[in-house]
Amino acid sequence: MSLLPDQWSLLEELAAAHARAPGWLHGGHDEGDGRRRTSAVQALARESLCELASAGPEDLPGPRGEGTGWAARITADGVLALQYRCRRDQPVPAPRPAEVADPALVPLELLDSEMEPLRRFLAIPGLGDARLVLVRDVVEQAWAVPGGRRWQVTATPEQVEAIGFVLRLEALAGTARAWHRFLREYGPPIRPAR
């Protein structure tokens, strides 16, 4: 599940291309490492971290040349994955837990290893993702279970989905253990919108 180093490199290239207009990165099948890059871009597209041009080679945006096989651009989830990866190893101070949770919401029990990625997600500077508010509310209302490294929280279905998304980012950037446990305990795989 974790992205490979060449996939991260390609995602960084896509982000750099995103900063330039029109934001498309081109690759060919005939380059020396073309097959590996094609495989990497297809893996990123499967994870919805980049978008492949749907047109034929003659209609691809930007410069064209002999052997051009694909054009791709980074998605919002791809940008978030890069930002999350940069923030992943930087510690974030624990927030002060809320005293009372709404009993009408879905009860969750999260491990420290599941709360930490949520805090890292919140620490990404300039984050404009709608899931930010959902995750922030979960982290703010969570309370520590006495005698354990667990947190209890009540969440709406939208918040549960946002937690799953952040744990998926953790799975892409490092370990999938927290994401897999969360999926086993609280529902089906959460996939990004296409």
Split at pLDDT 50, 70, 90, the class of 189 is low
Residue showing tokens 């005698």: 147
pTM to 2 decimals? 0.59
Q: Residues 162, 164, 168, 174: what is their CA dihedral angle, to the nearest 10 degrees?
A: 110
Q: What is the mean pLDDT of residues 67-93?
A: 80
Q: Please state, in angstroms and rounded to a whole number, the distance separating the CA atoms of residues 108 and 64.
A: 51
Q: Please state, in angstroms and rounded to a whole number, the distance separating the CA atoms of residues 127 and 165.
A: 15
Least confident span in 26-35, 74-83, 106-115, 156-165: 26-35
Q: What is the DSSP letter of 93?
A: P
pLDDT at 97: 41
pLDDT at 61: 52
pLDDT at 29: 65
Least confident span in 95-104, 115-124, 128-137: 95-104
**Alpha-helical regions (H) of the chain:** 5-19, 34-46, 76-87, 112-122, 131-141, 157-173, 177-186
Strand partners, 51: 73
Burial pattern 149-167, b for ≥16 Cβ within 10 A else e, equals: eebebbbeeebbbbbbbbb
Split at pLDDT 50, 70, 90, the class of 2 is confident
- 36 or 59, greater pLDDT: 36
Q: To the nearest whole percent, how much of the chain has pLDDT over 70?
A: 77
Reference 178, options 188, 163, 192; nearest CA is 163
